[in-house]
Amino acid sequence: MLRYTLLRVLGAIPTLLLVIALAFLMVHAAPGGPFDDERALPPDVEANIQRAYHLDEPLPKQFVRYLGGLLRGDLGPSYRYRDYTVSELISTAFPLSMRLGALAMALAIVAGVTAGTIAALRQDSYVDRCIMALSMTGISVPVFVFAPVFVLLFAVKLQWLPAGWSSTSGVSRFVLPVITLALPQIAYIARLTRASMIDVLGSDFVRTARAQGLGTLTVVRLHALRPAMLPVLSYMGPAIAAILTGSVVVEEIFGIPGLGQFFVRGALNRDYTLVLGIVVFYATLIVSLNLIVDVLYGVIDPRVRYR
């Protein structure tokens, strides 16, 4: 297990380097710069600023300098948020994004697994068709369509929930963003659970359990649910990363001061170090989550062996 984990970590290094290089080139290829304001700066002032942030150096030298900072754990200063480093901004904003993503993922797992199991037990029935139709809707419609509809319905028309992010709203401010983020994942998990559960329910060990007189709920809970969760577990790593990165749109719509809002504003302001820092952070997060899922796969399924 330890050798497998070390090999996966070492194998992730080239992937992270490629992501960093592509993000670095794309950010610097965008027109404009971090200090291009509506009012033009005097040439000598602009030259001093460029020199202070090493933006006057050739691009390869800037990239090597940035990699050197990453090896020291330094993501650099923010060009727009003065007196703040990128690490400080990420550490301030990410806990809120993580809380939002964790609540959405918990809701997605509970609702998706429940809906998928019910659909599998009622295969080809009216309930099964309704659940699968709703799942296809959740997969097809993006979150930036759901969010305004929910705001219009539950906040403007019914006035049950707050439309935006306010410190006076309490727990209710999480409801709409969490549901919006969770809906696509509920749809994917429901479909995966249904397909896997149907396959497991037809297995020999399930038929043996039923032949012993066990009820349906007991068979599902004790025998079928655990092996049926393996495809869902494989999906969990990318799904958690998708929820965290998908919160970029949701946070902007609901005005949530999380990491997604910093990313959008950093891209609009050409804040190179902030955008690169968030990309590196997300890429590292995705690699780590996939590694955790691989390890948990072996815990759930004893047949898996790491060599």
Q: Give 241-298 pLDDT, tens digit per residue.
A: 777 666 777 887 888 888 877 888 887 777 888 888 888 888 888 888 777 777 776 6
> What is the fold, at CATH topology level, of the domain defined by 93-252?
MetI-like fold (1.10.3720)
CB atoms within 10 A of CB 54: 12
CB atoms within 10 A of CB 164: 14
Residue pair 75/90 in contact by the 8 Å Cβ criterion? yes
Q: Give 151-160 pLDDT, tens digit per residue.
A: 888 888 888 8
CB atoms within 10 A of CB 199: 14
Helix intervals (H) in 53-174? 59-71, 86-121, 126-140, 143-150
Q: H or E element: which one contains 12? A: helix 2-29
How sure is the predictor about 189, in pLDDT bands with cuts at 50, 70 and 90? Answer: very high
Burial label for 182, CB within 10 Å (0-12, 13-18, 19+), is buried
How sure is the predictor about 138, in pLDDT bands with cuts at 50, 70 and 90? Answer: confident
Residue pair 107/226 in contact by the 8 Å Cβ criterion? no
The pLDDT of residue 112: 92
Distance CA 299, CA 231 (A): 14
Percent of the chain clearing pLDDT 70 (strictly above): 87
Domain edges within the chain: 93-252
